[in-house]
Amino acid sequence: AQSVSQHNHHVILSEAASLELGCNYSYGGTVNLFWYVQYPGQHLQLLLKYFSGDPLVKGIKGFEAEFIKSKFSFNLRKPSVQWSDTAEYFCAVNAGSSASKIIFGSGTRLSIRP
């Protein structure tokens, strides 16, 4: 069965620190990959997505993610975080014949100290 693993349950950083959130998925075929963000009190929003082409994907608010097929990974990065980045981050995959459904990871809570 397809699955998505996010290794960090809770990450605490100071402002201006660099961020990398890990994401690995299990599926051997073609995948679409996503990072969603949920700010406190708000609904899930798409941060960035990978469908094909350049494996380095740039999203909103300075976030980027790199698809490494050989490692089944899609890690999220940001060079300098801000307090406003405090949120829950979900990695997700849309794969194979089940092109309709998205499989989500369990999420990483990011807390930024001002």
Partner 1 sequence: GAGVSQSPRYKVAKRGQDVALRCDPISGHVSLFWYQQALGQGPEFLTYFQNEAQLDKSGLPSDRFFAERPEGSVSTLKIQRTQQEDSAVYLCASSLLGRDRHREQYFGPGTRLTVT
Q: Is 107 in the site for partner 1 (CB under 8 A)?
A: yes
Q: Which stretch binds partner 1 (CB under 8 A): 14-22, 69-77, 79-87, 91-99?
A: 91-99
Give the interface size with partner 1 as a residue count (CB under 8 A). 23
What separation in angstroms does the CA of 51 have from each of 6, 61, 66, 67, 94?
20, 20, 12, 10, 10
Residue type, 52: S
> Does residue 77 contact residue 97 with C-beta atoms inside 8 Å?
no
Least distance from C-beta 44 to partner 1, angstroms? Answer: 4
From candidates 49, 62, 73, 86, binder to partner 1 by CB under 8 A: 49
